[in-house]
Chain A
Amino acid sequence: MDLSSITPALLLASLMVAATPILLAGIGELVVERAGVLNLGVEGMMITGAIFGFAATIETGSPLVGFAAAAAGGALLSLLFALLTQIALANQVASGLALTLFGLGLSSLLGQDYVGLKPTPTPSFNIPLLSDIPFLGHVLFSHDLMVYFGLGLVAAVWALLKYSRAGLILRAVGENHDAAHALGYKVVRIRILAIMFGGACAGLGGSYISLIRVPQWTEGMTSGAGWIALALVVFASWKPGRVLLGAWLFGGVTVLQLNLQAAGLAIPVEYLSMSPYLITILVLVIMSADKSRAPASLGRIFHASG
């Protein structure tokens, strides 16, 4: 065993990368849930984003177009969910699960011609000067653009929810849709927009895996990241800042686990892998004493019967 071979700066830097896909998907799902909608189809939207992004990058040679396509693909798929749950008033749990099934099938069908190809590499983006700072420079300032985009998105969502009028309305819709409706807000429209935002974010998260983290296309390549993103939102008790913390925790456990193994430490891998989920449950219990709870209308069907 040789723990000295683990470099903290590198460990933290790869933690940032490992956290990005679930961070993106998680922050999107957070907005959806704050609007009172539970979309369990994150995995399906992520994998759809992964293939849309990958295919677009291959076809155009531009990762930027790829990411845009991924967001569009995720949003498009989530629109299906929105139609089902908001217009046809179907149950959200079942619709979300169906969406995952649909997304997994769709992506592997679309991806048949893209197996074994290499996408145009996304340039990494070292922030000048800052990336030269010892330790911090490597941890924080020498990543690809999407890492910064993810961080920025968290900040933006946080500010929007907390300070803007739009955020206030969104939260009102999520807490009590009947009251929000009575106040004249278009509950359904707001929720559809929130769902599509969530889909776009999940799509981006998926394409981060297929374009940067791996990068290649293979069927089922998100392998459960969407479900982790769901856990993340709960872990974060629906607060954007904590999504970031959670993403680092979930990403961190994976990276740390691999690091310890490489350093020759015999660790029970399965038990370490289950720890983030146990911690999430613990957080839920602790939170119950706290005032922060799930949005009151979460998962409930809204129908304006007035």
Chain B
Amino acid sequence: MFRLEKRPQPSRVFAYLTPVLAVIATMFAGGLLFAALGKNPVEAIRTIFWDPLFGEFAFYYRPQLLVKGGPLILIAIGLSLGFRAGIWNIGAEGQYIVGAICGAAVALAFYPLDAWYIFPLMILAGALGGMLWAMIPALLKVKFGTNEILVSLMLVYVAENLLASMALGLLKNPEGHGFPGSRNLKEYPSAYNEPILVLDRIPEPDTCSGISGLFECARSGSYNVVADFSSGMHWGVLTAFIAVIFAYVLLNRHMLGFSIRLTGEAPRAARFSGVSPTRIILFCLGISGMMAGLAGMFEVSGPSGQVSIDFNVGYGFTAIIVAFLGRLHPIGILLAGLLMALTYIGGEIAQGNLGLPSAAIQLFQGMLLFFLLAVDMLTNYRIRLVKREAA
């Protein structure tokens, strides 16, 4: 019979090895699934994991990994701080929505004014909006001891209804022929979260655009055509990277980070050593709300461009999974966010190229998560073979 035995120290070897194990296991199980659907399993797996990174069109997909992974990482970093302290904000989706609404509202209030300060103000509004939305469960927890898991989850639905109301009412594009959705912020330069680090901005000859043009230009030596496809780096992605560093420093080098970890690992000890639980709750929920709000704001002003009824696509929930896949460690979250983005983008390619149904991709992602969560056990526990005790 097997027995689990808690390791005195989490195993370092397994901490690095288990994610790899999980990915391999998923490839195997996923391969079986794809084979059952009548697709070539090797090709399917290669399409999902290899093509976005090293395939023919990787120059486009690699930046897209940042676009997709950026918000996931940003939100997950914020959440991980709370999770470390045993504070469960699972309403990041709501904070993401409110951040986006606030950011967009500021931009639309200034429209069509052209001024440098609009974008910074939007960032501020997004951060504040997300933070205030997260402050509701925080204050209720501090004041009344209500469960933050549930309050933050309820607020997601409130936020979703608020979003629908905004898209159909207050923020609706007055020139949109009555369709729901706000103005597109991509067409409003002062509010557009445009890609930074664009590879090359030299004006290109006409022949260089389009697929056939690409070939012509590559041959003639005017390479800058690739500039058409941005680097994927926008302010939100940059903020996500800064957040990773911030969280790393906070947790490893700062007293507050120590207090957070202590609160999570030994709440009683934390209290005895003078850590104020109220402060930790307010800080953790506040900062996770702020980051989710920022993510929403950067998304609405950049890749998405407008407030619409279905603006939110579940980043707030997926980020919870990312936080756990990353073992609540900043670097781990960075990698987990990119891995998650890879399965999304690879999955889309597999849909387009191999005709895999999107349901199969969803199932595949579910499997990956299951395996990753299951093997995590090996890090903290040891499996021991024990003889069955005589009855």
Contact = CB atoms under 8 A, between A and B. Distances in A.
A–B interface present (Cβ within 8 A): yes
Interface of A: 38, 40, 80, 83-84, 88-91, 93-95, 97-99, 101-109, 112, 219, 227, 230-231, 234, 268, 270-271, 273-274, 277-278, 280-281, 284-285, 287-289, 294, 299, 303, 305
A98 B363 CA distance: 10
Mostly, the B contact residues are helix
B359 A84 contact: no
Nearest to A287: B146
Contacts of A95: 370, 373
A83 B373 CA distance: 11
B157 A227 contact: yes
Contacts of B201: none
9 contacts: A40-B90, A89-B4, A94-B325, A97-B317, A98-B373, A102-B367, A105-B363, A277-B155, A281-B154
B150 interface: yes
Interface stretch (B67-75, B109-117, B158-166, B240-248): B158-166
Contacts of B230: none
B366 A101 contact: yes
Contacts of B363: 102, 105-106, 109
B374 A108 contact: no
A69 B221 CA distance: 64
Given A102-B370, A270-B162, A277-B158, 16 more contacts: A93-B88, A93-B320, A94-B369, A101-B365, A105-B365, A105-B366, A106-B359, A234-B147, A270-B165, A274-B161, A278-B154, A278-B158, A285-B146, A287-B146, A299-B88, A303-B4
Interface centre among A38, A97, A98 (most CB of B within 10 A): A98
A89 B154 CA distance: 27
B203 interface: no
B283 interface: no
A103 to B, nearest CB: 8
Contacts of A287: 146
Interface of B: 4, 6, 88, 90, 136, 140, 144-147, 149-151, 153-155, 157-158, 161-162, 164-165, 168, 317, 320-321, 323-325, 357-367, 369-370, 373-377, 380-381
Contacts, number: 140
A128 B216 CA distance: 82
Nearest to A231: B154
Given A90-B374, A270-B161, A234 B321 contact: no
Interface centre among B150, B357, B360 (most CB of A within 10 A): B150
Contact of A271 (B147, B155, B161, B325): B161
A294 B357 contact: no
A280 B136 CA distance: 14
A98 B374 CA distance: 12
Interface centre among B320, B365, B366 (most CB of A within 10 A): B366
Contact of B381 (A89, A227, A271): A89
A277 B150 contact: no
Nearest to B141: A288
Contacts of B321: 94, 97-98
Nearest to A285: B144
